[in-house]
Amino acid sequence: NPRYHLLVSSLSLALLFNFSSNPTMTAYRGKYADELIANAAYIATPGKGILAADESTGTIGKRFASINVENVEENRRALRELLFTTPGGLQYLSGVILFEETLYQKAADGKPFVDVMKEGGVLPGIKVDKGVVELAGTNGETTTQGLDNLGQRCAQYYAAGARFAKWRAVLKIGPTEPS
């Protein structure tokens, strides 16, 4: 059975565009509403896209192993610096989804990656889910972890410079699934 990856942030973008383009619709408007609407519009800039640079330590470790590079923080930081500081590399991006480690990392010159992105016209984002686990009593269906302390973590990520979030849910679709 195929698995479909849903980005809640994509659904949020669609909802935000509906609300922002139709002022007769009502929705709760918190103190970040205008910023969120502006960020969603910016992320959807024609000709630009989102770079998913949110590989976990384990996933990037598999990639490093394939080229005989040790999976240590300095090597992960160096790879990310290459991604974010290559001349002209950010011009086609509107946003970059980061892994938590990357949100707090700096380039070799001491400049935070978040600042490098902002100066390049790119919104930093953050992966907020904590992976998936198999759902007991099902035929291999999964549930996403990370709702515990999500509000607190999002406040910390915002303070660190993240301006959007990615939440992943993996759904197994079939004749009897999802449950």
**pLDDT, tens only, 41-97:** 999 999 999 999 999 999 999 999 999 999 999 999 999 999 999 999 999 999 999
Instruction: Check residue 99 and give its pLDDT.
Output: 96
Res 21 pLDDT > 80? no
Q: Quote the CA–CA distance of 69 and 60 in Å, as a whole number.
A: 10
3-state secondary structure (DSSP) of residue 118: helix
Domain that holds residue 32: 8-129+149-167
How many other CB atoms are found less than 10 A from the CB of residue 50?
20
Report the chain's C-alpha Rg in angstroms. 18
Number of domains in the chain: 1
Which segments of the chain does DSSP mark as H helices, in order? 8-21, 33-43, 57-66, 73-85, 100-103, 113-119, 150-159
3: which 2 tokens? 């698995």
What average pLDDT does this structure show over 136-160? 91
Give the global pTM: 0.81
Q: Is residue 134 part of a domain?
A: no
Q: Is residue 140 part of a domain?
A: no
Q: Is residue 70 part of a domain?
A: yes
